[in-house]
Every structure is written in C-alpha cells, then in structure tokens.
Amino acid sequence: MPPRLSRNSSLLPNASRRRFLQGSAAALAAVGLSNCRRTIGEAEPAPGDDTTASSEASGVLHIYTWADYTDDELAAQFTEATGIDVKIDVYDSNETMLAKMQAGGGDKYSLIYPSDYMVTEMIGLEMLTALDKSRLVGLDKIREKWKSPVYDPDNAHSVPYSWGTTGLLYNSEVLTTPPTDWNYLWDNRDVLARKMTLLEDVRETMGAVLSSLGYSYNATDAAELEEAYQKLLDLKPSIASFKSFGWQDELLSGDNLLSMVYSVEGIPVSLENPTFKYVIPESGSSVWTDTMVIPSSAPNVDAAYEWINFNLQPQVSQETVERLFFATPNGEAMAMLSQDLLDNENLFPPEELLAKCEGIAPVGDANALYDEYWTKVTSA
C-alpha cells in the first residue's frame, strides 16, 4: 500500500483502514475508506507547540506506519508548527515492515511504528536507535502501564503511541445470537460458511486459535501449536479469506457476516453503523501497543524527535484520538477525551477483561513452526 503524503496531497486516498460509512458499496468505494478528507489548506491552526523541544530540524520527514495513525490534519499541523514536510508510506503488517527494512528499502524512513513484540525483535537486530531522553518532552505524561514496558525496558528505544485489542466484528441483524468467544466460529461454522474473514496475520490468527484451546497467545510448545494448526485447518473450508484490510465491502454488502479485526478498525464501524457490533472474546484476546521508534538508519533524526514530541503533546494526542478512534497511553490526553469515548468499553475495556488478554511476544525458535503451519493453512 504505497500512498504518500506531501503538503499538497491528501493522505491515504485508497489505503486508510477506517470509516465504514452507511450506504452502498459503491458509495464506500467512492470515499476510498478515507477517515479524513480535509486538504492541507483546510486544516485548523496547529495547537500550541511551546512544549516541543527546540531543534534545528528541517527538510522532509519520511514515516513508515499503519494507515490508522496519521491524517491530513495531523500532518498539516506538524508542518505548520515545525516547517518540516511529511511523507508517509503505510504497511499492513509488522512482518511486511521488517522485511522491507531488512532488505534496505527502509533506509529513507526516520520514524516507524512497530508493535510491541516487533520492537523487541528489532532491538535484538540492532535496527533501532537508543532514544536520547534529553531530547524528549512529554514522556512523563505516559500512563504507568507503558513506562518501562516488558517489550522495551525503560522505553529505551520506543515511545508508546496507541493500544487496542483484537476481536470480532459481526452483523447483528443476521447473527442474532452474538459471538462471545472464539469458539463461536467453530460452533456456528454452518451459518458462517464462506461468510467470515480472519486476519492475515499468523500471530493474531494462530493466537486466537490457541486461546480457544486454553493456551497462551504466545505458545511455543510444539504439541500445542500442532493442535492449533489442526483446529484452524478444520475451520478453513468455512473461511471466506484471510484478510487484515479491505474486508469492509464484503461486510457492508452482506456477503460476509463476521470479520476478525483490530479494534482500531472495528470500533469506528460500530460507532457509525449500529448494525455492526465489535466484541472482545471473553476468554481473552491480544492487547497490542504500537510505538514510535527511530531506526538506526534514519536520515533525519532531528525531524523524528520533533514528530515524537509533537505527538506527545496532550492536546495533539487528544484531537488525533477523537478523529481516528484509538486508545492512547497518554494519561493527560486521555483525561481530555469526551465522555462518550471514555465510556466505550470496546475502546477502553474493563480491567477484568484486559487481565485475560496478552500482548504478542517474540516466540524465538517457535517462529519456524508458526510460519510452517501458516503456510500450510493458507495454501491449502
């Protein structure tokens, strides 16, 4: 997904992962699933940047990120505040991003947004810059849970940007008995036959199957992985496709009834069209954190620090969250959110449910088994 942002272009006209508008599939395609169609010239004035560390940063900041975390308005505010142009490429999985970075295609990027477990992996590969905390302003506003996280002790290489869950988005008008847990997929396979999609993400989908068996999302035991593989293979004939993005058309048209999705996509759908409900499986799911990091090959480190500091400002974070619907680890920004968002338990799940969820962690040598089983399932 290659769209880029410049000061005179609209961000992600075809690749944004949200805005599931009511209406026909044709109308949906017409807006390109775009979350924010404002042009640079229409952007509001930038919030006060008096808390941003001073810098001689200039030029262009190339960012590699998920499609959910930036829009025209954010980029325009940043450029107005700093004079730095922004160009953005998006990826659809951590593994896609890592492969590009390892192949040398990521040398132009000064800021990327890996998920928690990928931060750990990239640190091990010496691909990330150790952060100079004296150049960061606002890291103290991060909630305690994300200070010195297990994936990056002392936030040495990463700044948490967003978090969320993985769950099921379903058509409540057809599926009148709502899903409550992962085993719903197997128990209702006849109704869902060729009308459901699962994530095209080995760790998420295999993790969900492992969870349905009572195992850890991060299982490394060969027997547990074999059991999960067999269970997923058993469901394969009922699965329409493995798809992380682009499932919206099928769900809207009624061709599909249920999709496994990231909360950052599912929640906006449920807010805009009450026919569709998002649910976090009661036995637990993944709870993920996406971060901002500076790759060791970054050509414009100064601009990367400016971007991080700009996004750490509570007002900037609050406004971005309220436009794009993701949960923020910024405590001050969270306190400024609308009550409607704070009361949304899909966005901010109760602690007892979160306690059953797991972050996706590196699995070491077991990666080979995950990949082997995934190849077998997806090619079957």
What percentage of the chain exceeds 70 in pLDDT? 85
Sign of CA dihedral 150, 151, 155, 159: negative
| Encoded tokens for 218 | 């991060």
Per the model's pLDDT, the better-predicted residue between 31 and 100 turns out to be 100
At residue 34 the predicted structure's pLDDT band, cuts being 50, 70 and 90, is very low
Contact status, residue 151 vs residue 163, Cβ threshold 8 Å: no
Weakest mean pLDDT among 19-33, 115-129, 351-365: 19-33
CATH number for the domain formed by residue range(s) 164-286+349-379 = 3.40.190.10
Question: Which stretches of the chain are DSSP H helices?
Answer: 25-30, 72-82, 94-102, 116-124, 184-187, 189-192, 202-212, 222-235, 248-253, 263-272, 301-312, 314-324, 331-335, 339-342, 351-354, 367-379
**Stretch 266-270: mean pLDDT, rounded?**
89
The pairing of beta strand 158-171 with beta strand 258-262:
antiparallel
Q: What is the pLDDT of residues 326-339, one digit of tens each?
A: 999 999 999 999 99
Q: State whether the Cα torsion 363-261-147-86 is positive or negative.
A: positive
Nearest to 320 by CA among 111, 141, 89, 75: 75
CA atoms of 331 and 111, how far apart (whole Å): 23
Q: Residue 354, class by beta-carbon neighbours within 10 Å (0-12 exposed, 13-18 middle, 19+ buried)?
A: middle
25-163+289-342 and 164-286+349-379: same fold? yes
The structural domains of the chain, with segments of one domain joined by +, span 25-163+289-342, 164-286+349-379
- Residue 325 has a pLDDT of 85
Say if CB 96 and CB 15 are below 8 A apart.
no
pLDDT tens, position by position, 174-229: 999 999 999 999 999 999 999 999 999 999 999 999 999 999 999 999 999 999 99
**Crossing angle for the helix pair 72-82 and 301-312, nearest 10 degrees?**
110
92-124 residue pLDDT tens: 888 899 999 999 988 999 999 999 999 999 999
pTM across the whole model: 0.78
User: Domain 25-163+289-342's class?
Assistant: alpha beta
pLDDT > 80? residue 5:
no
Q: Do 265 and 18 contact (CB within 8 A), yes or no?
A: yes
**CA–CA separation, 92 and 137 (whole Å):** 30
Average pLDDT of span 358-374:
93
Q: How far is CA 135 from CA 291, 305, 315, in A?
A: 17, 7, 20
Q: For 302-322, how does the pLDDT look when each residue is reduced to its tens digit (9 = 90+)? A: 999 999 999 999 999 999 999
